[in-house]
Structure 1
Amino acid sequence: MAQVLEFKLPDLGEGLTEAEIVRWLVEVGDVVAIDQPVVEVETAKAMVEVPCPYGGVVTARFGEEGTELPVGAPLLTVAVGAPAPSAEDDGDTAADEGSGNVLVGYGTGAPPARRRRVRPPTGAAPVRRSPGPAAGGNRNGTPVPAGREAAPAAHPHADGPVPVISPLVRRLARENGLDLRELAGSGPDGLILRADVEDVLRAGSGRARTPLPASASPAAASEGILHTPPSARGAALPVAPVPAGAASSAHGLRVPLRGVRGAVADKLSRSRREIPDATCWVDADATELMQARTAMNAAGGAKISLLALLARICTAALARFPELNSTVDMDAREVVRFEQVHLGFAAQTERGLVVPVVRDAHTRDAEGLSAEFARLTEAARTGSLTPADLTGGTFTLNNYGVFGVDGSTPIINHPEAAMLGVGRIVPKPWVHQGELAVRQVVQLSLTFDHRVCDGGTAGGFLRYVADCVEQPAVLLRTL
C-alpha cells in the first residue's frame, strides 16, 4: 500500500523566505529517486535545484513555472512504496524511504534514477496530456479547423528535460515566449546555447539586437579597466526583454520587484535609511600599476587580473585602517571590527546586480585572488552562485569602470561600513615629474559609514590606496 508524502519548499537558509519556480524537472507519474533534483528555483541569492528527500512516484505538483512560493509551501507529493511498474516499463522503482535531507544543494551523492513513465497509484490524480494532431488538435492542444490537418513539426526535445547551457538561457526563452522544445541546439549533443535562442528571437523580431560590448563581459569586469573606442561611444544599448510578470496599465508598465531585483531594492533602501554615508574621491596615476601587471604576466604562469591587484591593495589598506572593515550594531550601540577581510565585488548579470564574496581575501596573493575572482565571475554569469557565495562580506570593491564611467557615489552594501569604487582607466594629461605627459589615470572613490570613523580615517585609507596605485612598490612594505 502506497503512502503519499508531501514535500514542502525547504528552508533555504541565509534569511531567504521565498523562491520562484523556474523549471520543473519531473512530471506527475514520474519515478524519482531519493535526493533526485525535482525542481529548479530562483531565490534572491541564486538559482538552485531542489532535491526531494523521498523516493517513489510523483502524484501531484504545486505551482506553475514562474510562481513564487513561500518557504514551507507544498512543492509536490510522492507515493512511496508504490506498486512496481508494469512489464512495459524497464528498471526498478525508487526506494520507498526518505533521506531526511531537505537542504538546497545537498544530497547523498547517488546518481539520480532515469525518469520512467508509470501508472499513478490508486487515488492519484490522472495525468492530463494535450491531444496531438491525430486527436484533432495541434501540439498545444488548440483545435485545428475542419478540413485542414495540422502541419507536422519536428520537436527535437519532445520527451524529457530540454538541455540548455545555463538557466539564464531558459529564462531568456521564457521571458520572450519561446518554446525551447522547438529548437535544435547547436552545442554538443544538441545542447541549446544562448546564441540559438537569440537567433530565433532575431528572426522573429525582424531586427538584430545590439550585442553587449566586449568590454562589459565578465572577463573585462575582472580586469577592472575599460577602453572605449571612439566609434563605440554613443552606441545603442541592447534592447532588454519585458520582464516576466510585468503588467501594462494606463499609468505605465508595472514590473514586480522580486527575486534578485527585489533583494537589491530591499538592501539598498535599508542602506539609505540606516547608514549616514559620506563619499570622498581622488584621481590617481595608474600607469606604473599597469606596467607592473604587464611585467607580472610576461613572466609566465597564471595571469594576474587588475581587479586582483586592486583587491590586494584594499586588504593592505584595511590592515592599516581596520575601522572600515566593520559593521555597526545599533542595538548594542557598538562598532564590530572584523579580523578577516571577506571582500565582495559588485558584478552586473542578466539577473541583476550581485555581490559575490571572496573569503579571507587578506590571506590570498595576487594569483589566488585572480583565480577566485574568475571562478565567482563565471558562476555569476551562469547563475550558479550559492547563497554562501553571496553573503558574509565585510568590505566591497565596486568596479564601475566597466560601464565606461569615471566616477560614482555608490550605496554601501548593508551591513558593511565602506565601499571602494574604481572608475575606468583612460589616458589623460597629467603632470609627471614636473612635465606634462599623457598618463593612465583612474578615479577612486570611497563611500563610508560616518558612524565608524571620521573623514581623516577615510581620507587616509583612500590616500594609501592611491599611493599604492601610483607606486606599487609601496605594497612591498606589507608583503
Structure 2
Amino acid sequence: MTGGAGREFRLPDLGEGLTEAEVLTWRVAVGDVVAVDEVVAEVETAKAAVEVPVPFGGRVVALHAAVGGRVGVGEPLVTVAETETETVAGAEAGGGGGPSASGPVLVGYGTAPGSGGARRGRARRGARAPERAPAGGGTAGAPRAISPLVRRLAAEHGLDLGALAARVPGGVVRRRDVEAALAAREPALAEPEGAPDGEVRVPLRGVRRAMAERVARSRREIPDASAWVDVDATELVAVRDELRSAAPELGIGLLALVARVCLAGLARFPELNARVDTGRGELVRLRGVNLGVAAQTERGLVVPVVRDAERLTTAALAARLRELTGAAKEGTLAPAALTGGTFTVNNYGVFGVDGSTPIINHPEAGMLGMGRIVRRPWVVDGELAVRWVTQLSVTFDHRVCDGGVAGGFLRFVADRVERPALLVAEL
C-alpha cells in the first residue's frame, strides 16, 4: 500500500525455510515516528526470537497483528506514512525527497550506520528513538524489560508489561517480577471461562510447536533403534578435574570432553553422520560434522548446532558450547544456529536420570545420550571399588546402518570415556 495511506512493510523472509512468525512485542504504537532500520517488533519463529526493523522511515499508521498473532512471510506487518521530517531528511541525503529504504532486512543486516537519509537527518537533529510500550494496551510510560526472555515470558502468558512496570521499582521489569505476577494470578487460571473441570489449555506456539512437529515427523519417518552400555567414567572425570585445575580459563567440562569423544567416534563410523534422501532413495553421508547439543530452555527443547565441530580444538569446542547453550537459555539464538545439524549429543543426565530413549532430531541419523554420573560399585582388576559410572546410549536410524555399526560406535565412545588417553591416538 502506498500514497496517502502509507507504505506497507511486509514480514521479510527470515530464512531457513520459515513461513510465519508470531508477534511477541510491538516496539512502536500507531502515531510513533520511526527511522530507517528502527526495530518495530520482536517476533518469534519456529526457531528463535528475532527483532524486525522497518526499511523506511515515517509515522506508523497501522499495526497489522496483535501481540500473539501470527503473520506469514510476505504479509503486512506495519504501515508507515511519509512525514514532512522524513521527506526533508531524504532530500538532504540526496534521496530525491522520498523516504530512504534499505530493503526488508533483519537487525544486523540493514543499512550501515549513517547510510539512510532518515537516520542521518535524525542524527543531525540530536533526536533519540524513545523506548515504547507494546501497542494495544499498557501504560503511557515505556516498560523496560531487562532481557528479551522477560518480554517473551510476559507475552506468552498475556501479561501487560506496561502495567507491571508501574508497580515495580524504577519501572524495570525483571524475570522475578513476571514470575510473581503469574503466581498471583494462578488461582484465576485454574478455571478459565469455558474450560470444564478446571481444564487449562495452552496453545502450542513457537519453539514448542516446532519441536512437537519435528518429533512427530521423526517418529513417523525414522525407524529408530537404541543401544546402551554402563561406563566407568572415573578417568574422564579426573581429566576434567585436572583441566579445571591447570587451565580453569578454558572452561572445559564433561560435555565438551564427551563431545570430543563423540566426534572421534563419528570419524571412525561415518555412517552415523548421514541422512536419508527419501525423494531420491539415497543415503547421504556428510563430510563435516555439525554437532547439535540438546538444551532445555523455558521456551522448550532446542538444539543449537556447532558447525564443523570436528575442526575445533577441545578448548574452542567448549567455548562454542557455552556460547550456544547460554544464548539458547536467554532466547537470543539466531535461527541459523538451530538448523543444519548432522548428529546430536543429549546430556539427559542433567535431569537426574540414568537412561532415556530419545527421539532422533529429524533429519539426522543418530544421537548419543549420556545419563547422570554417579558413584557406584564397580569391579576393577577383580576387586570391588567405588567408581564414577554413567550410562551411554546411541539411538540410530536403522535405514542408515545396522546394529553392528551403531554398537561399534557406542563401544568406541565408551572405551575412550573409560580410558581417555586412547583418544590421543585419534587427535
Give the shorter-chain TM-score range: 0.7 to 0.9
Partner of 1:12: 14
- SS state at 1:84 partner: helix
Structure-to-structure mapping, 1:8-407, within 5 angstroms? 8-80=10-82, 82-84=83-85, 96-103=99-106, 106-110=109-113, 114-115=128-129, 158-160=140-142, 162-181=143-162, 182-183=164-165, 191-202=172-183, 204=184, 248-249=195-196, 252-300=199-247, 301-407=249-355
Q: In structure 2, how many angstroms separate the alpha carbons of the residues matched to 1:418 and 1:25?
A: 41
Q: Cα–Cα, structure 1 residues 50 and 177, in superposed 2: closer, same or farther, change >3 Å?
A: closer
Q: In structure 2, how many angstroms separate the alpha carbons of the residues matched to 1:200 and 1:291?
A: 45
Q: How many Å apart are 1:18 and its aligned residue?
A: 1.1
Partner of 1:216: none
Q: In structure 1, how many angstroms separate the alpha carbons of the residues matched to 2:103 and 2:185?
A: 49
- SS state at 1:254 partner: coil
TM superposition score normalised by structure 2: 0.86
Q: How many Å apart are 1:254 and its aligned residue?
A: 3.3
8 Å contact 1:163–1:192 — kept in the other structure? yes
Q: How many Å apart are 1:102 and its aligned residue?
A: 3.1
Q: How many Å apart are 1:12 and its aligned residue?
A: 1.3
Partner of 2:89: none
Partner of 2:125: none
Deviates more, 1:308-317 or 1:99-108: 99-108
Q: How many Å apart are 1:73 and its aligned residue?
A: 1.6
Q: Cα–Cα, structure 1 residues 247 and 278, in superposed 2: closer, same or farther, change >3 Å?
A: farther
- SS state at 1:271 partner: helix
- SS state at 2:359 partner: coil
Q: Cα–Cα, structure 1 residues 355 and 169, in superposed 2: closer, same or farther, change >3 Å?
A: same
Q: Cα–Cα, structure 1 residues 277 and 78, in superposed 2: closer, same or farther, change >3 Å?
A: same
8 Å contact 2:232–2:417 — kept in the other structure? yes
Uncovered stretches (5+) of structure 1, i.e. residues with no partner: 86-91, 118-128, 131-138, 141-154, 208-240
Deviation string 1:29-80 (CA, Å, 9 cap, x unpaired) is: 1111111111110111000111111111111111111111222221111112
Q: Cα–Cα, structure 1 residues 104 and 250, in superposed 2: closer, same or farther, change >3 Å?
A: farther
Q: Cα–Cα, structure 1 residues 423 and 242, in superposed 2: closer, same or farther, change >3 Å?
A: farther
Deviates more, 1:384-393 or 1:255-264: 255-264
Partner of 1:125: none
Q: Cα–Cα, structure 1 residues 392 and 52, in superposed 2: closer, same or farther, change >3 Å?
A: same
Q: Cα–Cα, structure 1 residues 280 and 116, in superposed 2: closer, same or farther, change >3 Å?
A: closer
Structure-to-structure mapping, 1:402-421, within 5 angstroms? 402-421=350-369
Q: Cα–Cα, structure 1 residues 249 and 175, in superposed 2: closer, same or farther, change >3 Å?
A: farther
Q: Which amino acid aligns with 2:41?
A: V
Q: Cα–Cα, structure 1 residues 298 and 363, in superposed 2: closer, same or farther, change >3 Å?
A: same
The alignment's C-alpha RMSD in Å is: 3.0
Q: How many Å apart are 1:106 and its aligned residue?
A: 2.2
Q: How many Å apart are 1:83 and its aligned residue?
A: 2.2
Q: How many Å apart are 1:166 and its aligned residue?
A: 1.9
Q: In structure 2, how many angstroms separate the alpha carbons of the residues matched to 1:74 and 1:250?
A: 40
Richer in helix (by share): 2
What fraction of aligned residue pairs are identical, expressed as a percent? 58
Q: In structure 2, how many angstroms separate the alpha carbons of the residues matched to 1:246 and 1:350?
A: 26
Structure-to-structure mapping, 1:386-465, within 5 angstroms? 386-465=334-413
8 Å contact 1:48–1:105 — kept in the other structure? no
Q: How many Å apart are 1:25 and its aligned residue?
A: 0.6
Q: Which amino acid aligns with 1:47?
A: A
Q: Which amino acid aligns with 1:293?
A: R
